[in-house]
Structure 1
Amino acid sequence: MTIMPILHSLVIALVATTLTFIVTLPIVYLLIQHPIKINWIIESLLLLPLVLPPTVVGLFLLQVFGKYGFMGKLLALFNNYSLIFTLTGATVATIIVVLPIMYQSIKAAILGVDRHLVEAAEVIGATQFEVLRYVILPNAYNGIIIGLLLTFCRGLGEFGASLMVAGYIQGKTDTIATAIYFAIQAGDNHTAIYLSVVDILIGVIALLFIQFLNHQNKRGSANA
C-alpha cells in the first residue's frame, strides 16, 4: 500500500501546479502590464496563504466546502457530491497553499524580461497575447520552469491544509506527508523512512535541475 501515497502526492502536486500556473500567469501578466490602484490589495490576497498556517487554510476550506458551507451546499446539489475526504479536496487545498510561490516566481520571471523587447513588440503592433506568447514566455522560460518546480515540490510536501480537508484514508486520500505522520504514530518507522527517502530524492532531483537552470541563466547574462 506504500505506493499509493506516492502516486497520490505526485498526482496532487502535478495537478495543483498545472492549474495554479494556468490561473496565475494571466493574473500576473495583467497586473504588470495594466497596474491599477488596488494592485497591492490583490497581491496581498494572493500572498496571504504564505503567512498563514496551513491549518488555517484548511479550516477556511472546511467552512466553505463543508456540509454547511456555501460551496458545500452547492456541490451537494450534484448527486450529493462533496470535496471533503477526497483527493480533489486535497488538490484544492494544495492549490491555495502553493499559489503565493507560483505568483512570486512568475512575477519575478516576467519582470526579468528586458522591457525594450516588450516595447519593441508593442510598437510593431503585437497584441497583448502575442507579446506574452512570443516575447515574454520565451525570455522568461527558465524562471517560469524554476517556479513550476518549486511549486511542485511544495505541493508534494503539503500536509496541514490537505489533511484537514481530505483526511487520511489509506488507499484513497493518503499522501506522502500524511502517510509518514501516521506511520510514525503507529510505530511503523520502516514505512516512514521509506516514504521520506522517496520524498527527499524527488526534492533533490528538482533542486539540482533548478541549480542547472540558474547556472544557465548566469551564463546567458554573462554572454549578453
Structure 2
Amino acid sequence: MQSIPNNFSAGELLPLSFYARSALETAPLLLGQTLVHETDEGEIRCRIVETESYGGIEDKGSHAYGGRRTGRTEIMFAEGGAAYIYLIYGMYHCLNVVTGSRDDPQAVLIRAVEPLTQQDEALMRLHRGSRARRPADLSGGPGKLCRALLIDKSLNGVLLHSSASPLRLEAGAPPPAPASSPGDPQPAIIAAPRINIAYAAEYADMPWRFYYRDNPYVSVIDKERGIPY
C-alpha cells in the first residue's frame, strides 16, 4: 500500500492548496477525510470511504472529455475546491470535488461515506428511510449518499474549503486499522476500475476507483480486479 500523507489536524478545513492536485492524485487522498453538511435538521458528518477519479480532457469517462464545456460541466473548469453536483436518471444527485487548476477539468466523484456517530447515522436514516438495511444501502453509492445527506444541485459550486459553506471538507481522524493488520495506521486501500462507464472505451478499465478494503459502506467490492494501492 502506498503511503497517504495527512499533514492536517482532525477537524481542520482542508485548505485550497489540497485541491491543487490532479483528480487521480486527490482521489485516494480524500479517503478518510470528513464530509460535513449543515442541514435544517442538524449537522451531518461522514468519513469518505470510496472515491472515483475523472480527470482531464483525455479521460473518456469524464463529462468534460475532449474539452466539452457546457452549462453543467462549466464548474469542472474552475479552480479546484468547489463542489460539482449533477443529476442522473432524473432522480439521483452525485457529488464531485473539483480539483486541479483553472481550465483543466478535473473532478473526484464521492462514491461512499460512513457516518461518524450514531446521531449522524440517525439523520441519514431519516432521509433514506427503511430501505437502508445494510451500511451500503445507507450511503454506499453516489446517489444514496446524496439522499442521505440532503445534497442536491442547490449546492453546486459551493466552496468546500470555506467555513461559510454549508457543505465542506475537513481533515479526518485516522480510521481504525483492520483487525488483520493491527500495526498498520491505516486500513488497506484498494484500487479498482470505475463503475458503469463501459462507454469510456480503453479508459473503462483504468483502476481509478479507490476504497477501504474492509469498509461495509463501500458500494462495490471488486474481488477480481481490485489491487492494493
Both structures adopt the same fold (TM-score exceeding 0.5): no
Richer in helix (by share)? 1
What TM-score comes out, normalization by structure 2 length?
Answer: 0.26
Richer in strand (by share)? 2
What TM-score comes out, normalization by structure 1 length?
Answer: 0.27
